[in-house]
Amino acid sequence: QVQLVESGGGLVQPGGSLRLSCAASGIIFSINDMGWFRQAPGKERELVASISSGGSTNYVDSVKGRFTISRDNAKNTVNLQMNTLKPEDTAVYYCNLYKNTDWRNCWGQGTQVTVSS
């Protein structure tokens, strides 16, 4: 059983920060590319940030310079540090892993991030 459990979301004012964490089990974590997605109501889920098994990172343009993805292979976790948050960052955030040729089509409960004044 592959299990990804997100945590760290909450309510924050614009300009604030949050740190999300994803705990993985049921996989050999160190060999998998990992990513953070988000989905706002009525919108498609989008890939926000990814980190390869080797540690290389990519970000969607809207979060570059504000978000940082990292991983700790010893703890089987992937994190997302979110700074200078904007209202448009409001969404449910999910972590996922890249398997074979695509992101795994199985999603956990996610963690809600709400940015509002």
Tokens linked to 110: 């996610």
Residue 100 has a pLDDT of 85
Per-residue pLDDT of the chain (117 residues; tens, 9 = 90+): 899 999 999 999 999 999 999 999 999 999 999 999 999 999 999 999 999 999 999 999 999 999 999 999 999 999 999 999 999 999 999 999 998 899 999 899 999 999 999
Tokens linked to 78: 């992937």
CA distances from 49 to 32, 56, 82, 101 (A): 14, 11, 11, 17
Residue 6 has a pLDDT of 98
Tokens linked to 86: 């904007």
